[in-house]
Structure 1
């Protein structure tokens, strides 16, 4: 599937919202006996790794910590003076005055600054492949390479030497191209700036599960329901202690302090996240079964948001689909002939492993022509249409129609971890429920320190319907999705719910019999 970058159609605008970074947490108390034997060995190893992680964050940043701050240099001045940021500086010089003023004047900034991400080959300016030979890096390098290519083409076409004859048409085209480049760079730059009242050093970044950025499309586009676009943060102790951003980039030079904030030099530039569906196609080795199923039941469009596209062609489906389609479209407010997709949602996406754990009878039936309706319902159970749910950020989406109830949540502190519990409505109408009632999912968020006594990095983990999330907080342009390695089951399982329906329908269609009570006791899926 060809990836269409949202950066090509969005105009970034600033939002005056408050800090979206995870709040500080009181020290968590461990009430466990002293470790011994293998437990002591594991504890000792964890302590050493945790210590190495903290040392990396502290020692790597010390040499440059005082230099730029004492010299009074701003982030803008450091970027333009340091050879390691040469490519970034060239790109940012084509940004708008508003973006430049942020980097020059705004205080308490936290900036993820990509180091030079590729080097020109020996072919010179005539080397057409200089910007495309980036197959060794993540897709973000290709995106930024295309921006560099547009800048190079612009400089070639409108250089002083080639401007012997200017007319109004040339001026209009020059202005149009310059404006396009400016919008692309502004969006990309704002996605590298953290929204926070205070600077966030590398340890603070590592303690979060995600951070809000200054990129906010506001009212011009409904992406993420007008909330700040977020960057997923994570940490790794092995093989190299580091803080990772959106899985593919990492902080290589943390805590470069300047007069107006802090720079974290990162290995690769960040790419504006695509919508949920496009992101799933990036991970075909993990999500191929889910993407195939979504396309089979014509539900793929509910994981996209493309207001610049028309979806007229998608409204013609097979005749046997109408019942399920009506259920989904009613909840997603598809009320006219043009459906642009869903601008904000949360999806728990089963991995290929999750699907493989299902009994063969269920898999064969659901992906057969007869399992169409129930496969659609399975996906509906995994989707939250009224909430953007990150581990450390939850936003309730208010639809234009009937207001959906906000999530019910409670917080329990103390013990081994702080636990916050939520209950969210899904897209799936409640089985045997009243009109307007929907199946719900329980989401638990645990925050705890890696080591006893409140030591080590702060961890955040999510559990949905008693299923551990194996990859959490994967940002998208229309919400967020999480990866699970087990299929979700509704409340009341195995006596009632979607899987009871699947079992009955599969047996009736001659695919075989599945004893749900025995399956529940075995707990294989």
Structure 2
């Protein structure tokens, strides 16, 4: 079994020792009633932890161990065509759904959650597969915390949160998962200097800025490229993601009755995501404790009343009058 293999290996002694302290995890990795994929950190991965580090709680360690276990069999060839993988760690803030690992393939090979690299693949076990990784996988933090870690990409958005006291607002919203469309600094630049001066430097504009921030969050529905956790009262019926060439989602936002539309197109195992027909997701599936981050290259705005989409990709930005008319009903 997976458990027996990691217990005998001289490369995974530290992870195996932690597993031994958690009988339920031992049972899972020994169980033959279902197949699993373990991403096991090699002993060298534990060298990053400082000696004087305060020991985390038993519950935290157990959750972290479960986060290394994907539900189902994921040989390397299947990971190449996966965007996210469901783990054995069920996240309460996603409505009790499995927290996911983000997988990506680049010149350096397969990486999980941007930082942990697969260094040995496809070790077969009776109840699944083992891949060795070079960094410990930690369950992800909150959406807001992740955004603050990248000020070089998201400083304009962070300023928008500050100017509108958005953090105070969002803390009062009860969410079971969320999809957060996160505009880069360049996405705000695209609005143009007039619109930005209005939004950031006038009292009136800040109300519109707050409306945009609300519009960029889908509550209680967590949409990954290859999975959809729908915790809303009125669920949207969709087929399993793998089967389809493309999907269309029409999702409610935190901005009144304004909906945001998402199209996922698939071709030869690759997928691209567009929001409202013009904003491209440039970094998909940033997994977070309370949802998923989809980084976009244009600020998503509600379409004009009576128009489903706004296809404008013009460089000159948006007129303040146009911006105000799109958001008039919500401010």
TM superposition score normalised by structure 2? 0.84
1:189 maps to 65
1:234 maps to 104
After superposition, the CA RMSD in angstroms is 3.1
* Higher helix proportion: 1
1:373 paired residue among 176, 201, 207: 207
2:148 paired residue among 281, 285, 290: 281
User: More displaced, 271-280 or 281-290?
Assistant: 281-290
CA deviations 1:82-110 (Å, max 9, x no partner) are 2221222232233x211111122344221
What is the alpha-carbon distance in structure 2 between the residues aligned to residue 386 and residue 118 of structure 1? 35
1:452 maps to none
Unaligned runs of at least 5 residues, structure 2: 311-317, 324-331
Secondary structure class of the residue paired with 2:120: strand
Counterparts in 2 of 1:368 and 1:408: CA distance versus 1, 3 Å: farther
Counterparts in 2 of 1:406 and 1:361: CA distance versus 1, 3 Å: same
Residue 296 (structure 1) aligned with residue 163 (structure 2)? yes
What is the alpha-carbon distance in structure 2 between the residues aligned to residue 216 and residue 513 of structure 1? 45
Counterparts of 1:56-75 in structure 2 under 5 Å?
Answer: 74-75=1-2
Secondary structure class of the residue paired with 1:244: strand
Counterparts of 1:166-205 in structure 2 under 5 Å?
Answer: 181-196=57-72, 199-205=73-79
Counterparts in 2 of 1:189 and 1:424: CA distance versus 1, 3 Å: same
Counterparts of 1:122-521 in structure 2 under 5 Å?
Answer: 131-132=49-50, 146=53, 150=55, 181-196=57-72, 199-217=73-91, 222-236=92-106, 238=107, 240=108, 242-301=109-168, 332=173, 342-370=175-203, 371-398=205-232, 403=233, 405-407=234-236, 418-429=245-256, 438-449=257-268, 458-466=269-277, 467-492=279-304, 516=322
What is the alpha-carbon distance in structure 2 between the residues aligned to residue 494 and residue 281 of structure 1? 36
CA deviations 1:6-53 (Å, max 9, x no partner) are xxxxxxxxxxxxxxxxxxxxxxxxxxxxxxxxxxxxxxxxxxxxxxxx
TM superposition score normalised by structure 1? 0.55
1:83 maps to 10
What is the alpha-carbon distance in structure 2 between the residues aligned to residue 287 and residue 189 of structure 1? 31
Counterparts in 2 of 1:342 and 1:495: CA distance versus 1, 3 Å: closer
Stretches (4+) displaced over 6 A = 410-414, 493-498
Unaligned runs of at least 5 residues, structure 1: 1-73, 121-129, 134-144, 151-179, 305-328, 333-340, 430-437, 450-457, 499-511, 518-525
Counterparts in 2 of 1:278 and 1:186: CA distance versus 1, 3 Å: same
Secondary structure class of the residue paired with 1:233: strand
Q: Contact between 2:176 and 2:220, CA under 8 Å: does it hold in 1?
A: no
- Greater Rg by CA: 1
